Structure 1
């Protein structure tokens, strides 16, 4: 009987404590999404149990009808108060104008996991800044045009041959998109950043892809590690999460150790030169520094780029009029050559519009966050927009997927309509409502390369094939709740029909 009373007392005490913790926004007059006072998970329940994708979760917080016209909305990460920023001008304040007050991302790796803690996305500002400057040199327009583009063209030729082998003598065939897109993006990444002749599309398999996919296989330990890094950053020294698996970390270390192309100027070479020039910087001198950056670049490009290409083909298959117009533009571009030059590809207006619209519906970054690092002891004031001061350490989230599908800024937001980005309309897009790669200094370092890779892949597929929906094509995309990025939960099947331009 005593044990029963003790249990009851514990439950009641926990409820009272949680009610107090969840009173933060109410007591300050800020609209908020109230979690259950019986749950210690705050608003994260569905996400922690893998019932919803990250993108959909933050979009739901953004679009919850209880928010009304509120510019900011409070919610709870376990018992930690967090903000969902919904106003474009406040988003600009957080990401760009007042970057110095929001220097870091909220997530953090354990210092005892150098392969994770050293990576560009998880490094804190004083370490992040120099690494970002070093790696940015690999993504200039001149380098993409003069160094990268030729290598990417070789991969797109492999992509054409891959599809030709799949169809053989047939005029049409239903194919899954997942593996083809993944082989394409890992081939590009391996060639550009590691000077590897990956050849996954030629062989139909890739060690680089196998190692990368293994990292995304979900198990309870990986889920715990991932949630700890993103939602319990102050507990990482206790929970000891690992960003990379031991196998993946070992693979990337060997990749760096075996690097045999010191004159290529690729990612590994660039980082090694950076390391030699920073003899007093303990961060960059760590033996895992180069391998950690090489590892995160592969992961960041692999999942987002391969999924985006699949989504774009899916939308084109569902909209034959749009696909027909795009193929007519490509027919003119390919009229005198089997491949497209860099300047020709970049000058194709409708291809650009199609890719921009695909990125609106399926942004590379479905959400971003920033941690308040204001030098003022009280924090960063949101006045005159909102009467609230963001305290140091509070995370502010921006749902890019929510912004991109907000009917206030995008009429019929679920409709794939490249005309939104026609030159005469582009200038009227509300500022900070289209940020598919994030914005400001922390914006995606490889955004231009990602768009270039998408354009090139789509152009060379449609050069030879018409894609259309079939009986195995799902009616709508469901995002995978086990993936951090936007990824289809179901395999996308399309019918590929031979149709040379």
Structure 2
């Protein structure tokens, strides 16, 4: 019996080895540059990520910058055993994201509509043509007129709470070392509550927020959440088997309750707008789905919480590292504020150095560290004359935004925080498609302008009354958290806040 079992085990191992050898020879057979991978692992290039040893952003940045493909326009790698492409050339990036959008209609990741209808309805995971309907619907929430007339006055109310919160945290001292994450998260969740749910959350006033509590609970990793998320992102064809869900049951219930509670409130922008569009277009896909509004409410909160709050902390960290840059920005803000407590919408949108600082922060810490597209053309998509290769239908193509925005080929001294890169005299030298912090093309971030405005205002109102400095508790460099999807610091960021009104 034992010899038979050993023989069977050897046969299984041999079969597995030959199977992986065949799968991993894909790019060699097609004569494309690729990253080598061990034939003994079924995980492809995802091993470190699956074991939570590297962040998503760092993984795809490392694939982008791998020495085996450093000069190539694209590089092959493996998502488990699925061949995937890392697009490295700006012209090819433009081709996939913009010029040939109709050949790359969907993102690769997906939720199972049967077992996770709420997750499948969210804008990032919806598939074409449902995505197109939802995008047209949601885009009306982010028009310039709505931002100026409706959103900006509401944001000013939260900014006053932010300044009072900071004064309270200082406890009457002229200097105090404070962590950034809680304050930044309370700020962004308060803004989201005000703008989209007409909910005065009061997180900055109370020091706690039900919206922040929900998002932190959702992002708190456990085995089931990690399995579900990895399946949705890298094995979308198997989500039905694992019954993977984007939102936890508690988070989904919270969002449904939030929508029901405000269903008749005419002041709730997000819910009211989506209700009106459902009624106006009753035959569209989203109009027939009961969870459509709750799904969008849920994803908007997550997007604002994880990206905007971390970005505000990163920006303050970089300004504390370079006091001269911070002083120049504070001088500009002193002139802009004058004796007023608020900036006008026009000033917030146009202050040149504030804009340069925030654009440089988005270069080093893009809102989307990476993006992908799935080839949806049945016959595949030919890359000639750029490369002699046809991307087959269903193959994912990735773009490492973190990688290209930190590439010395396009950005001299790429790790150095230098707002002058975006000065009017220099901005024309930026290579097209080497700077896409919110993605690009029809799938680009729908809330990019709001995200940039929120960052500008947060920085302006914090520096209006305080100066930030490095201290003994400040980490010398930022490491990204391997347990979160977006870019977030692994270490708490501590800065010394010094009372110094403009």
In the superposition, the TM-score normalised over structure 2's length comes to 0.98
The offset of 1:335, in angstroms, is 1.0
In 2: Cα distance, 1:471 partner to 1:116 partner: 43
Which residue number corresponds to residue 401 of structure 2? 400
Contact 1:195/1:261 (<8 A) preserved: no
User: Which of 54, 57, 78 lines up with 2:56 in the alignment?
Assistant: 54
- Alignment of 1:262 with 2:265, yes or no, is yes
1:464 and 1:498 in contact (8 A); partners too: yes
Contact map agreement 1:314 1:492 (CA 8 A) in 2: yes
Aligned structure 1 segments of 4 or more residues deviating by more than 4 angstroms: none
2:433 maps to 432
> How far does residue 264 in structure 1 lie from its aligned partner after superposition?
2.4
Check conservation: 2:278, 2:286, Cα contact below 8 A. Answer: no
Corresponding residue of 1:284? 287
| Structure 1 contact 366–485 (Cα < 8 Å) conserved | yes
Deviation at 1:278, TM superposition (A): 2.6
Q: 1:157 aligns with which of 138, 141, 160?
A: 160
| Counterpart among 216, 219, 222 of residue 219 in structure 1 | 222
Task: Write the mapping of 1:43-442 to structure 2, written as runs, cut at 5 A.
Answer: 43-111=45-113, 112-259=115-262, 262-264=265-267, 266-375=269-378, 377=379, 379-442=380-443
Alpha-carbon distance, 1:73 to partner: 0.4
1 CA distance for matches of 2:320 and 2:295? 38
Q: Using the alignment, how far apart are the partners of 2:399 and 2:429 within structure 1?
A: 22
Distance in 1 separating the partners of 2:130 and 2:285: 10
Does the 8 A contact of 2:467 with 2:498 survive in 1? yes
* Residue aligning to 1:468: 469
Pairwise CA distance, 1:476: 0.3
1:177 touches 1:310 (CA, 8 Å); kept in 2?
Answer: yes
> Aligned partners of 1:472, 1:163: CA distance in 2, in Å?
19
CA contact (8 A) 1:278 1:285 kept: no
Q: What is the distance in 1 between the residues matched to 2:235 and 2:300? A: 24
Cα shift readout 1:422-441 (whole Å, capped 9, x = no counterpart): 00111111000000000000
For 1:75, what is the secondary structure of its paired residue?
strand
**Is this contact kept in 1: 2:133–2:286, CA < 8 A?**
no
Q: CA deviation at 1:260?
A: 5.5
Q: Could you tell me how far 1:261 is from its partner in structure 2?
A: 5.7
Q: 1:24 aligns with which of 14, 23, 26?
A: 26
- Mapped to 2, the partners of 1:409 and 1:218 lie a distance apart of 36
Alpha-carbon contact 1:353-1:421 (below 8 Å) kept:
yes
TM-score, normalised relative to structure 1: 0.98
SS in 1 for 2:372: strand
Distance 2:62 2:70 in 1: 13
1:479 aligns with 2:476: no
Secondary structure in 1 aligned to 2:429? coil
* Partner in structure 2 of residue 42 of structure 1: 44
Is structure 2 residue 498 aligned with structure 1 residue 488?
A: no
Farther-moved stretch of structure 1 (360-369 vs 167-176): 167-176
In structure 2, what is the Cα distance between the partners aligned to 1:152 and 1:59? 34
Once the 2 structures are TM-superposed, how far is the Cα of residue 212 of structure 1 from its aligned partner? 1.1
Task: Give me the whole-angstrom Cα distance separating, in 1, the residues matched to 2:283 and 2:344.
Answer: 43
**1:223-252: per-residue Cα shift (whole Å, max 9, x none)?**
000000000011111111010000000000
1:277: Cα distance to partner? 2.2
Q: How far is 1:337 from its partner?
A: 1.0
Contact 1:109–1:243 under 8 Å retained in 2: yes
Shift of 1:110: 1.0
Quick one: distance in 1 between partners of 2:223 and 2:5? 31
Instruction: Measure the CA separation in 2 of the matches of 1:477 and 1:65.
Output: 23
Kindly provide the CA deviation profile for residues 195-214 of structure 1, in whole angstroms up to 9, marking residues without a partner as x. Answer: 10111001101111101110
Distance 1:424 1:339 in 2: 29
Assess if the C-alpha contact under 8 Å between 1:103 and 1:372 holds in 2. Answer: yes
How far apart, CA to CA, are the structure 1 residues paired with 2:463 and 2:205? 19
* Cα pair distance change 1:77/1:63, threshold 3 Å: same
Deviations 1:23-75 (A, max 9, x none): 11100100011211000111111111110000000000000011131001000
Aligned residues: 499
